[in-house]
Amino acid sequence: MNPDKSFLRALGGEAVWPPPLWLMRQAGRYLPEYRATKERAGGFLELCLNPELSAEVTFQPLRRFPLDAAILFTDLPMLPWAMGQPLRYGTGGPEGVGPILDPVRDAAAIAGLRPAGAAARAAPIMETVARIRAGLERDHPGVALIGFAGAPWTVACYMVDGRGGHGFPETRRMAAENPALLDALFAALLEASESYLVAQAEAGAEALMLFDSWAGLLPPEGFARWVLAPTVALTARLRARLGPDFPLIGFPRLAGPDNLLAYAAGAGVNGLGLDETVDPAWAASALPRSVALQGNLDSRALVEGGEALERGADRILTAMRGRPFVFNLGHGITPDTPPDHVAFLAQRVRAG
């Protein structure tokens, strides 16, 4: 590990100040050069499967802003795709935007998945990881590389419902009415996620993040059963393969304070992503210091800029000073974000 990588030091438990900074969706549609590269690739899925161009879009925000981490450019449903589930992207018509998967809703469909082949089918993504890491060492030696996957619950939501935007009623129905079937899907997902994430680490990812974007959909006992328990199982498998100190970040979005406390204590992560609904002062005092916190500026403040942005950033910086912390948003950058506002935020965070 490069001792100068401030992001890795913070995840290792050091109260680095000014805090390291990166932003979810830092590569994406708010950057004209991203839109041009996606066009060149011939579409979003094509971009995700093109190692040269995926690496290129990963580097784009680093050339503009002083960020401390890069995140592998790919998408969460690429793991189901790698397990054999057909995937396409809606273009904004009646199906909306975003990923569309052929739903997996019965035992035959689950048995037809190929978790053992997932890492091999995802070979182009591993090549992307290797290219990004080499480019970082060459041109951005202080920047750490984050690999990622969706956490089992959130990936299952997309696999069972087939698309987002409707609160995933079929997945929640399966959890309530046929938990054994959902368990079978989770067993496949755990196997595939382990090999997919270990392959990313072997290709050069220096930290791994588990996105649980829909962790907030479940009642408390559902959170324990479908969010926390599978995350614990996955982090245990990753630790067995990658060693006890490998930096892992969990992001149980919209989980709420009680669930966050349980997650911070038991999920087996070094870092905890906070969404914008979490009060940073509460988080800094209530969550264990042994876990580095990451977040949680409202993406809307970044769109708005000016005073809203300054106030939001300062509130977080004030609360988190003196504890292991990584500055980020509470969710991804939205396409209507002016790049100038990102530059302003980076200066503000740098000033501590």
Instruction: Return residues touching ligand CP3 (CB under 6 A).
Output: 24-29, 38, 44, 71, 73, 75-76, 97-99, 148, 164, 211, 213, 332
Of 266, 261, 265, 219, the residue nearest 274 (C-alpha): 261
Q: Which is nearer to ligand CP3, 81 or 325 (CB)?
A: 81
3 state SS of 197: helix
- Please tell me what DSSP assigns to residue 327: E
To ligand CP3, the closest distance from the beta carbon of 110 in angstroms equals: 21
CB of 180 to ligand CP3, least distance (A): 26
CB of 58 to ligand CP3, least distance (A): 7
For ligand CP3, the closer of residues 7 and 73 by Cβ is 73
Residue with smaller CB distance to ligand CP3, 164 or 312: 164
User: Closest distance between ligand CP3 and the C-beta of residue 146, in Å?
Assistant: 8
What residues contact 331, with CB distance under 8 A and at least 6 apart?
24, 253, 275, 276, 299
CB of 282 to ligand CP3, least distance (A): 22
* Sign of the CA dihedral with 301 first, then 306, 309, and 311 last: negative
d(CA 340, CA 348): 12
Q: Nearer to ligand CP3 by C-beta: 216 or 332?
A: 332
Q: How far is CA 278 from CA 75, 226, 296, 316, in A?
A: 25, 21, 8, 11
**Is the distance from CB of 219 to CB of 257 less than 8 angstroms?**
no
Minimum Å distance from CB 251 to ligand CP3?
8
**Comparison of 128 and 195: residue with beta carbon closer to ligand CP3:** 128
Nearer to ligand CP3, 123 or 254 (CB): 254
66 and 348 Cβ atoms separated by less than 8 Å = no
Using an 8 Å Cβ cutoff, are 171 and 33 in contact?
Answer: no
